[in-house]
Structure 1
Amino acid sequence: MTAHSTKASKQERTVAVFGAAGHTGRFVVAELRRRSMTPIAVVRDPAKVTEFKERDVEVRGASAEDPDALDRALKGAAAVINCAGPFLATANAVASAALRAGMHYLDVTAEQPSAQATFDKFDHAAQEAGVFVIPAMGFYGGFADLLVTAAMADWNSADEIKVGIALDSWHPTQGTRITGEKNTARRMVVANGQLAPVSQPAAELDWDFPEPFARQTVVELPFSEIVVIARHAHSTEIRTYLNRTALRDVRDPATPVPKPADDAGRSAQVFLVEALVRKGGHIRRIAAQGRDIYAFSAPLICEAVQRILDGRARGNGAQAPGTAFDARDFLNALAPQHLSFTVSDY
């Protein structure tokens, strides 16, 4: 093997993580290393970060406000994962830098306006460059899209898509709180086949989740999955609901940040996401359960970037996970280590 091919091979497995010092970013760096990929930790102030150097992870400094520093920080990577919210403040800058370098871009935004803007702005440029741009490849966003796509299977349209999210608790990170304060845009759903503002006051209903949650009161609260699902799934109605327990936690300023409960740093939080797809009188349902929504975003987005770099993704451009990947195969790859799921058809 020549020196040039060795260098090229290393670059093909190198992934820059923007916002690596954040809560989710740390999980992403660890997951890339677990998958024998080479992370570059991109942080605002390298002098304040020592943990990565101790693990022999290269650290580079850059902020979203400095395009030249971003270009230097991403040099030598094949893809960049953006973990730094609010994404309305970072996604445009980091995705632009990725396109300048001809590399893939993924992020974990739950912000609807950010995901939509990334789709709208970067699709053509990403297609021309032959790279992927995938926003919202996290727990909120891409995960529900994969579930919905797997449930739809051979259907190319549906009359109704509903996503129910149940958390036994939600201890938000500081980043989640900051994003919530700054994201004042009206949340959108798909109603009568069109994106429309969610009704106010938000609708409430009872949702019969599988155990361990069973019946829960849920509130209509759409995240970035609405934008992502609507990009490729044709449905008259697309709506998302969150259980009141989680909503009460995240809205309480006294709720503490997540607390590690295992050697991997995951909290004890349990989640269950259920997607129901209806076509006429026929309903398909998929329910997936796992642990720690922040930690879970790491294997989710790292599986996506690994499939892209391995040539196991379809097409290019700004895409939803459900079009870029085989949804059922993707979910199977995460089970049973990171989630369990069941599918029913009735």
Structure 2
Amino acid sequence: MSPPQSPHQDSSPVAVYGATGHTGRLVAADLRARGRDVILAGRDAGALKALADELGAPVHQAALDDHDALRELAGRASVLIHCAGPFTHTGQAVARAAAESGCHYVDHALEQHHTAWMFDAMDEPARRAGITMVTAMSFYGGLGDLLAGAVATGMTDVERVITAYAVSGWRLTTGAKKTAELLFADTRRITFTDGARHVGYVEPRNAVFPFPPPLGPRTMIAPVPFSEVVTVPRHVPARRVEAQLTAHTFQEEQAFTSEHVAAATRSGSEFTVAAQVIAGDGGGRAGRASGRDLWRMSAVTSVEAAVRLADGGGPGPGVYGPAEAVPAEAFLRDLERLGLFTLTLPEKP
């Protein structure tokens, strides 16, 4: 058997699959602003050409069922950033193509089952190929995982981790709307309780999360089916992990009817994401990040991860969640310096 193909050198471009969607455009534009070579990829040839004219970058059309085209795309790049959700439908084809071509990979998935599949099915292929694959490097799921990792550093007996999202002004794209519909219709949700992963129907409930002033306590949907239940237990020794979302987020009139609003309107979201880590003795720690425009935050976060991989700064071959792939607190501080949010973390003991 021939040795595994080495990942492409950092002089190779970064490929953005789903480049013509809202997140993909933000990712591609940020890479270009950093002076990085980019390949704009996706399924719609006309939309790709229009974006190429705007950003001055080459295009690569590849349908999800065209495995050869996806492999050719990954073969041209050092890192592939996958932005085209829902990942329930798109994730496996793109991830497999990246591994088979020896290309580092970052995705924006928040879907629990895709994240679990990445760890279960792709870790061995990634190690054989000598590449790093990072899943759930996004706003929902990803920011919560990074905060949990930063807050829980050094804790060895953790009873509970709650990641809580307070979001207002969220305007869903077509892809985000489809993802939300899939997530909330899923009757086989993943939960993490009693130190183990479970799959089955979960009765949602209302909870109150104690956000600090000026936000204050808020009514939450609990649990919400985000990826933290899969990623957080990999690096925090917790017996229970749960994600929550403010109940008013989906009650806002335009949340589900804003697929075609202008980018400037879509950028108006406001958020506070908190991680509460409760120790076995009842003590605990908490941290939070507050900012505007969750779409930009998500896009730049994936770019920061991809640039590190392209420049040889990854954790080594395999599949990783956000807080496994990067040092959580240092990475969050870098994102804060980029103006994505204001960060509050507990004092180191």
| Match runs of 1:14-163 below 5 Å | 14-49=13-48, 50-163=50-163
- 1:171/1:250 contact within 8 Å kept: no
Residues 90-137 of structure 1 deviation map (CA, whole Å, 9 limit, x = unaligned)? 111111111111011111011111111111111011112221111111
Conserved in 2, the CA contact under 8 Å of 1:260 and 1:268? no
CA displacement 1:38-77 (0-9 Å, x = unmatched): 1111021223331222321111100111001112223321
Deviation at 1:21, TM superposition (A): 0.6
Question: How much does 1:243 deviate?
Answer: 0.3
Paired residue secondary structure (1:281): coil
Gaps of at least 5 residues in structure 2 are 1-7
State the match for 2:3 in structure 1.
Answer: none
Contact 1:158 1:236 (C-alpha < 8 Å) held by counterparts:
yes
Structure 1 residues 79 and 151, CA gap change in structure 2 (3 angstroms): same
Q: Given the two structures, how large is their TM-score scaled by the length of structure 2?
A: 0.89
Deviations 1:216-250 (A, max 9, x none): 11111131122111233221110111001113238
CA 1:181–1:206 in structure 2 vs 1: closer, same or farther (change >3 Å)?
closer
**CA gap 1:213/1:236 in 2 versus in 1, 3 angstroms:** same
Q: Deviations over 1:139-159 (max 9, x none)?
A: 112221111010011124411
Q: Deviations over 1:258-305 (max 9, x none)?
A: 5433xxx86111111000111122211111012222221111111111
Q: Find the aligned partners of 1:331 and 1:251 in 2 and give their Cα distance.
A: 30
Distance 1:111 1:188, change over 3 A: same
User: Residue 8 and residue 132 in structure 1: after superposition, are their counterparts in 2 closer, same or farther (change >3 A)?
Assistant: closer
SS in 2 for 1:249: coil
| Aligned length, in residue pairs | 335
Matched residue, 1:4: none
Show the counterpart of 2:246.
Answer: 243
Aligned counterparts of 2:128 and 2:234: Cα–Cα separation in 1: 20
Which segments of 5 or more consecutive residues in structure 1 lack a partner in the other structure? 1-6
Partner residue of 2:237?
234
Pairwise CA RMSD of aligned residues?
Answer: 2.2
Per-residue CA deviations over 1:290-327 (Å, capped at 9, x if unaligned) read 22222211111111111222233323201112122111
Q: What letter corresponds to residue 315 of structure 2 in structure 1?
A: R
User: SS in structure 2 opposite 1:314?
Assistant: coil
Looking at structure 2, the residues matched to 296 and 266 of structure 1 have their Cα atoms a distance apart, in angstroms, of 13
Alpha-carbon spacing, 1:171–1:198, altered in 2? closer, same or farther (3 Å): farther
The answer to whether the 8 A contact 2:9-2:78 is kept is no
The DSSP-based 3-state class of the residue aligned with 1:188 is strand
Which piece of structure 1 moves more, 43-52 or 129-138?
A: 43-52
Once the two structures are superposed, the pairs formed by residues 141-220 of structure 1 within 5 Å of their partners are 141-183=141-183, 184-185=185-186, 186-197=188-199, 200-220=202-222
**Letter of the structure 2 residue corresponding to residue 108 of structure 1:** H
Q: Tell me, in whole angstroms, the C-alpha distance in 1 between the residues paired with 2:273 and 2:26.
A: 21
Distance (Å, rounded) in 2 between the aligned partners of 1:145 and 1:126: 22
Give the partner amino acid of 1:187: R
Identity %: 33
Alpha-carbon distance between aligned partners in 2 of 1:9 and 1:168, rounded to the nearest angstrom: 38
4+ aligned runs moved over 6 Å, structure 1: none
Contact between 1:139 and 1:294, CA under 8 Å: does it hold in 2? Answer: yes
Distance 1:156 1:77, change over 3 A: farther
1:329 Cα deviation after fit? 0.6
Structure 2 distance, partners of 1:9, 1:290, is 32
The residue matched to 1:241 in structure 2 has which SS? strand
Aligned partner of residue 344 in structure 1, secondary structure: coil
TM-score by length of 1: 0.90
Partners of 1:200 and 1:35 in 2: how far apart? 44
